[in-house]
C-alpha cells in the first residue's frame, strides 16, 4: 500500500506538471514542405479561469521570411498585418521580393473572445516555405484584464520543456521526384485491369443476348 501511494502521488504530480505545459499556443499541422505552400493554423487555448483571450499576435521569424502570407477570416475577429523590408530580397518565380509580412495580429470584437475552457484556431496560408529545418513563430496572447502571455521561448538544446515555448513548424525536404514513375506504373496497371474487366463484362453480356435469342426462337417454334 505504501508503494502504491508513492506511485500514485508521483503520477498525480507528473500530470499536474504536464497539464499546464501542454496548454500553449501551437501551430498545426506541425510540419510543412520546403519550397511549397502550406496552410497552417495557430491554435490558442484559453488558460485563465476567469479572463478571456482578446488578441493574438504572431511574428513571422526574421531569419526565415516568406514571400506570400494570407489569412482566413475568423468570425468575430479582425486581422491586421505589418510588413518589413528585407535586406536580401527573396527570389520567387524569377522575381525579387523585398517586402514581406512581419507580424499578424487578430483582435476579437465584443462577444467573440476565447472564453475560459475554450480554444480558437487562426488559419494562415503561406509560401514558398523556406529551405530551413524549422520556423519559430513568437506569439503574444492578450487577455481581457490586460495581461499578456509571451510565448517566445526558443526550444532548449537538451530537449527539456521551456516555460513559454514559441510555436515551432518543422520543415522537411520535398519528396524524391524519382518516386513519381512508380506511381504512374501503378495507375496504368490499374487502368489495364479495369479495361480487361470491362471487355469481360461486354463479352458476358453478348453471350447472354445470344442465349436469350435462342431460347425465344425455340419458344416461338413451339
Do 164 and 72 reside in the same domain of the chain?
yes
Distance of CA 78 to the CA centre of its chain: 22
Q: How confident is the model at residue 175, as a pLDDT?
A: 84
148 domain-assigned: yes
Q: How confident is the model at residue 16, as a pLDDT?
A: 37
Do 138 and 99 reside in the same domain of the chain?
yes
Separation between Cα atoms, residue 141 and residue 113, nearest integer Å: 12
pLDDT-derived band at 183, boundaries 50, 70, 90: very low
Distance of CA 18 to the CA centre of its chain: 24
Domains in the chain: how many in total?
A: 2
Give residue 81's domain range. Answer: 24-174
* pLDDT single digits (tens) 103-128: 999 999 999 999 999 999 999 999 99
3 domain-assigned: no
138 domain-assigned: yes
3-state secondary structure of 40: strand
Separation between Cα atoms, residue 58 and residue 141, nearest integer Å: 9
Q: Would you state the cell numbers that stand for residue 36, as one nine-digit string?
A: 511549397
Do 48 and 154 reside in the same domain of the chain?
yes
Q: How confident is the model at residue 22, as a pLDDT?
A: 53
- Lowest average pLDDT, out of 2-6, 21-25, 107-111, goes to 2-6
Do 110 and 35 reside in the same domain of the chain?
yes
* pLDDT single digits (tens) 187-214: 333 444 444 445 555 555 556 556 556 5
Do 183 and 155 reside in the same domain of the chain?
no
What is the CATH classification number for the domain harbouring 163? 2.60.40.2230
Q: Could you tell me what percent of the chain has a pLDDT over 70?
A: 69
Do 165 and 212 reside in the same domain of the chain?
no
Q: Report whether the peptide linkage leading into residue 200 is cis, meaning its omega lies within 30 degrees of zero.
A: no
Q: How confident is the model at residue 154, as a pLDDT?
A: 95
Residue of 180, 179, 172, 173 lying closest to 29 (CA atoms): 172
16 domain-assigned: no
Do 36 and 121 reside in the same domain of the chain?
yes
Strand partners, 84: 100
Choose between 149 and 200: higher pLDDT: 149
Amino acid at each position: 500500500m505504501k508503494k502504491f501511494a508513492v506511485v500514485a502521488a508521483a503520477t498525480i504530480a507528473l500530470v499536474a506538471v504536464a497539464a499546464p505545459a501542454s496548454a500553449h499556443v501551437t501551430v498545426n499541422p506541425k510540419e510543412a514542405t520546403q519550397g511549397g505552400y502550406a496552410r497552417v493554423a495557430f491554435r490558442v487555448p484559453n488558460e485563465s479561469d476567469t479572463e478571456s483571450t482578446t488578441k493574438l499576435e504572431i511574428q513571422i521569424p526574421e531569419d526565415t521570411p516568406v514571400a506570400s502570407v494570407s489569412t482566413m477570416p475568423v468570425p468575430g475577429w479582425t486581422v491586421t498585418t505589418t510588413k518589413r523590408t528585407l535586406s536580401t530580397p527573396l527570389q520567387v518565380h524569377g522575381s525579387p521580393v523585398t517586402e514581406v509580412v512581419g507580424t499578424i495580429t487578430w483582435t476579437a470584437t465584443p462577444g467573440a473572445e476565447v472564453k475560459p475552457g475554450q480554444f480558437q484556431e487562426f488559419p494562415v496560408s503561406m509560401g514558398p516555405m523556406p529551405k530551413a529545418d524549422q520556423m519559430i513563430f513568437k506569439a503574444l496572447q492578450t487577455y481581457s484584464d490586460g495581461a499578456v502571455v509571451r510565448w517566445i521561448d526558443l526550444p532548449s538544446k537538451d530537449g527539456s520543456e521551456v516555460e513559454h515555448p514559441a510555436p515551432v513548424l518543422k520543415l522537411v525536404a520535398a519528396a524524391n521526384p524519382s518516386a513519381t514513375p512508380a506511381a504512374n506504373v501503378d495507375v496504368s496497371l490499374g487502368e489495364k485491369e479495369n479495361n480487361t474487366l470491362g471487355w469481360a463484362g461486354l463479352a458476358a453480356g453478348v453471350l447472354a443476348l445470344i442465349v436469350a435469342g435462342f431460347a425465344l426462337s425455340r419458344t416461338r417454334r413451339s
